[in-house]
Structure 1
Amino acid sequence: MAKKDDRSNNVERLEAMVENTEENIEEASSTLNNRHLSEQEKNNIRHKNERREQSIEAFKNEIADEKGDREHGRI
């Protein structure tokens, strides 16, 4: 039998994911100051941070959806 979809903590889980991703961006950005990194490594970090920013936007959109579902009693 399939497990029931429990969305009761989705907002909190997504908010934690946003926070963790923002921390990863910060850490990666400070790594860019390492003078021993090659330009390729720095570019890889920059591109990864761009993808992280996109993920944060997606998380925030999902948070808004989940909050809306809560407000309308769908969760």
Structure 2
Amino acid sequence: MANNNKPNPDDRSDNVEKLQAMIQNTENNIEAAEESLALTDSDTQRQQIEAKNERRRESVDSFRSEIHDEANNQQS
């Protein structure tokens, strides 16, 4: 039996679509967390939710930057 360790080809054709879906999912998570803030009495939980949403917003910014990079690579 032959050992075939060839890596898969780098297919970036759908990266932009995947990144856009990731942005949408993350934004949905932000909205759900914001809604849960209204139901949260604990200051500790509030701080945790707000901190997590801040990290999510940073992720969205990174995803958008990657989309920009991918668009530039596809044009080249």
Superposed pair shares fold, TM > 0.5: yes
> Counterpart amino acid of 1:62?
E
Q: 1:45 aligns with which of 44, 49, 55?
A: 49
Percent same amino acid at aligned positions?
A: 44
1:54 partner letter: E
Is 1:28–2:33 an aligned residue pair?
yes
Between the two proteins, the alignment pairs up a number of residues equal to 71
Q: Any stretches of 5+ residues in structure 2 without a counterpart?
A: 1-5
Greater Rg by CA: 2
Moved over 4 A (4+): none
Shift of 1:71: 1.1
Q: Which residue matches 1:12?
A: 17
TM-score by length of 1: 0.91
CA distance in 2: counterparts of 1:38 and 1:62, whole angstroms: 36
What is the TM-score with the length of structure 2 in the denominator?
A: 0.89
